Structure 1
Amino acid sequence: MGKDISELFGQVVEHRRKQRGLSIHQLAREVDLSPSYVLRLEQGERKAPSLKVAFDLAYFLSISLNELKAFVNAKYEEPKQVGLEELLLFKDNVQFCGMSLDSEMRSKTLDLLKLIVTSMNQERMNEYELKEIKESVEDLRSCAKKALKI
């Protein structure tokens, strides 16, 4: 029987954590998880993490989207309802306005959507949040221009 998602992901997390010289407690504190959760995840005793936890760990440990996708694809089964995160991360044939989105564009689109959704929970955005959204839009725009060779 092959390894499941949690065991594969846990092995990558443990390897990257050790590469950075971090203890389980330090990593847990950085990504706002309990040390026991991180330990169980690394040991494959924890079920596959939520997308938020996986993204937070991947971001902090510099695990690329392609790496994350590679070991998750081994066991990923498409759910009946597909979340936008899953669509942008796990589907290769995503199009928007007639344009195919490569992995970089899908990642930048997801980043922009996260910023927008996060800011929607507030009554008013501060200047820093507006600046982040503008920068994210510019990143996405330049990525689209590069893809279209404009």
Structure 2
Amino acid sequence: MDFGERLKHLRESKELGVNQLALKSGVNASNISRLENGERKDPTFKTVKKLAKALGVSVSYFADEPSELLAITAKLDKDVPIEELGDIIDYIKK
């Protein structure tokens, strides 16, 4: 199961629509739709973190293969706040 499939499955299991998740997470609804439909496969760590928080899971929920971890962490903004680095390290370890 890839990132988009996991996201959609989790969102639906929480009985949330795309727009509801967008409001709850602060991630644009069209971005969520593109991720779920596989049109976009490279979410930033910031996006993953927002979605995970809104859905009540850890960021590691979304990746089960090292290649997925690398793809997501490679998209890190160069100005990641220091307090987020612990989350990033935990994510990579899992």
**Equivalent residue number for residue 29 of structure 2:** 35
RMSD value over aligned CA atoms? 2.8
Aligned length: 83
**Equivalent residue number for residue 143 of structure 1:** none
Higher relative contact order (Cα pairs below 8 Å, separated by 6+ residues) = 2
Return the alpha-carbon distance in structure 1 between the equivalents of residues 44 and 17 of structure 2: 22
Q: Is the alpha carbon distance of 1:37 and 1:76 closer, same or farther for their aligned partners in structure 2, counting shifts above 3 Å?
A: same
**Equivalent residue number for residue 88 of structure 2:** 86
Unaligned runs of 5+ in 2: 75-79
Return the alpha-carbon distance in structure 1 between the equivalents of residues 32 and 12 of structure 2: 13
Unaligned runs of 5+ in 1: 93-150
Return the alpha-carbon distance in structure 1 between the equivalents of residues 51 and 68 of structure 2: 19
Percent of matched pairs sharing the same residue = 29
**Equivalent residue number for residue 68 of structure 2:** 75
Normalised by the length of structure 1, the TM-score is 0.46
Normalised by the length of structure 2, the TM-score is 0.68
Q: Is the alpha carbon distance of 1:88 and 1:22 closer, same or farther for their aligned partners in structure 2, counting shifts above 3 Å?
A: closer
